[in-house]
Every structure is written in C-alpha cells, then in structure tokens.
C-alpha cells in the first residue's frame, strides 16, 4: 500500500464532458461533479497539478463549464481518442512533465477510460489512487467491476476526502482549515 505524497501528486480529471456526463444517472451526477470540484479547489490550496482530458470532444462535447471555470485561466484540456490517458502521447507528455508519480483519478466512465488509464499507469510504474466518489459509469455494475479490477491491478480505491487528508498529512495549518471547509 502506498500513501500519496503531496510533492508527488497529480490529479487527473478524465472526460467529464457535457454529452458524456448527460448519459450518466441523473441522480448521481451532482455528487460526482461536487467531488471533482472539491479536488480542484484542494489542488489549488495544496499546489498540486491538475490534468484534464477530453475524449473525442467533437462528438462528446467539451469539459463541463463548472470544471472549466474552477480550473480557471490555466484550463487547457488534453484531447485524446485513445480511451486510456496512458496511451495518449499528449497526456503522457503532460504527466511526465510534472515529474510526479502519485496519480489521483476522477472522471467517467469508470469501466472504460478511468479503468484503462489506471491499468496503463500502474503498468508504467505510477501509484494510482481512484477517488470512487468522483468516478462513475452509466451502470453501477460496471463501476463496481471496474473498482474491483483496478484494485486487483494495484490501484488504491478511496474517496476524495481520504486522499485530500493524505496530501495534508497533519492538522493545524491554514491548508488544513481550507481543506476542512471544502469537505464539510
């Protein structure tokens, strides 16, 4: 088991795009979006890089406005056609440029792009953590199976809050107070 290190962490937000998100269960969308936004806000507080991918944006639309706005001026999604971010040369170049090896995955769909990204990154030596409350598929059976297979492959399956407090390591700082406010 591997705890995430703040100076080694990257948050990867996979394919949270307008048309793709619209295909997800309506009752689950708000919680997923909320947790992705919390991860972005925490990344800003903790100075952790955020990478955003878009799967075939011509067909699936752009990243949802809430994420584009929250990332802010530096928003620069990485377009891909490979399901796995690990097989996208542009994404891999951006990830490798960070020099970091602890990757927290958020996004859709858990059994396709998130799963394939997790396996490829694990096979390439990255420590992969999947924020289960910030990942979804159209069907819960697909998500459940994906989580089990990712864990078997070596990913740590947890929650957004669990990973954020690992990045913090201790209480008593202004960062702790800011993260605590985010997760309330």
Length of the chain: 184
Q: Is 177 a catalytic residue?
A: no
Among candidate residues 80, 85, 106, 120, the one labeled active-site is 80
Q: Which of 106, 113, 120, 133 is catalytic?
A: 113
**DSSP H stretches of helix in 8-155:** 18-22, 29-46, 57-60, 65-71, 89-98, 115-123, 140-153
3-state secondary structure of 109: coil
The span from the CA of 11 to the CA of 43, in Å, is 8
Q: Is 85 a catalytic residue?
A: no
Q: Which residues of 48-72 are buried (b: 16+ CB within 10 A; e: fewer)?
A: bbbbbbbbbbeebeebbeebeebbe
Cα radius of gyration rounded to whole Å, the chain: 15
Q: How far apart are CA 177 and CA 164, in angstroms?
A: 12
| Positions marked active-site | 15, 80, 113
């Amino acid at each position: 088991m591997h705890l995430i290190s703040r100076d080694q962490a990257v948050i990867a937000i996979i394919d949270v795009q307008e048309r793709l998100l619209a295909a997800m269960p309506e009752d689950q969308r708000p919680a997923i979006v909320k947790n992705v936004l919390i991860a972005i806000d925490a990344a800003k507080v903790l100075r952790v890089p955020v990478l955003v991918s878009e799967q075939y944006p011509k067909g699936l639309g752009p990243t949802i406005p809430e994420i584009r706005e929250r990332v802010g001026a530096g928003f620069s999604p990485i377009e891909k056609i490979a399901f796995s971010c690990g097989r996208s040369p542009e994404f891999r170049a951006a990830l490798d440029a960070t020099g970091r090896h602890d990757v927290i995955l958020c996004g859709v769909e858990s059994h396709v792009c998130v799963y394939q990204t997790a396996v490829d990154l694990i096979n390439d030596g990255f420590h992969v953590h999947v924020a289960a409350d910030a990942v979804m598929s159209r069907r819960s059976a697909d998500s459940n199976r994906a989580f089990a297979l990712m864990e078997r492959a070596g990913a740590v399956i947890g929650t957004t809050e669990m990973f954020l407090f690992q990045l913090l390591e201790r209480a008593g700082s202004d960062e702790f107070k800011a993260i605590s406010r985010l997760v309330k």
